[in-house]
Amino acid sequence: MSIEIGSKGRAETAVTPDNTARAAGSGLVPVFATPWMVALMESAAVQAVQGALSPEEGTVGTRLDVTHDAATPIGMRVWAEAELTAAEGRKLTFAVAAYDETGKIGGGTHERFVIRTDKFLARTQAKWKL
């Protein structure tokens, strides 16, 4: 694993009725939902580092501290950007921000941990035996 501080990722989508607050159940208005903004930020973070990992590795999100500062209507394009700001062992910290066609709509920090996918899934599936 050779992940470089400063690695950047980006994820993009368009606001549709399917990713609004009304559809997500996080509000009643037809604007881009906070849960979808968070998912876009996480996707950007994955894109920032996945290429530096081995095929057996991945990352999982463990912490988010973000704000959603502006609403985006249906039909507008939105994107998130992530930049790796720290790597401590398997813990990765990102600065994340989201934008629409008029400017910044949210931002904050996001933490992920590098995992060995097979071991992670085995531990998760072992919960069925409890």
Name the DSSP letter for residue 34: H
- Among the listed residues 20, 68, 81, 110, the single catalytic one is 68
- Among the listed residues 4, 12, 20, 34, the single catalytic one is 34
Token pair recorded at residue 123: 């531990």
- Among the listed residues 42, 59, 110, 111, the single catalytic one is 42
Q: How far apart are CA 41 and CA 111, in angstroms?
A: 11
Active site residue 68: yes
DSSP reduced 3-state for 27: coil
Active site residue 88: no
Are the C-beta atoms of residues 106 and 68 closer than 8 Å to each other?
yes
Active site residue 34: yes
Long-range interactions of 87-92: CB distance < 8 A, separation 24+: 87/3, 87/5, 90/114, 90/115, 92/3, 92/45, 92/49, 92/59
Helices marked H in 16-101? 21-24, 34-49
- Residues marked active site are found at 34, 42, 68
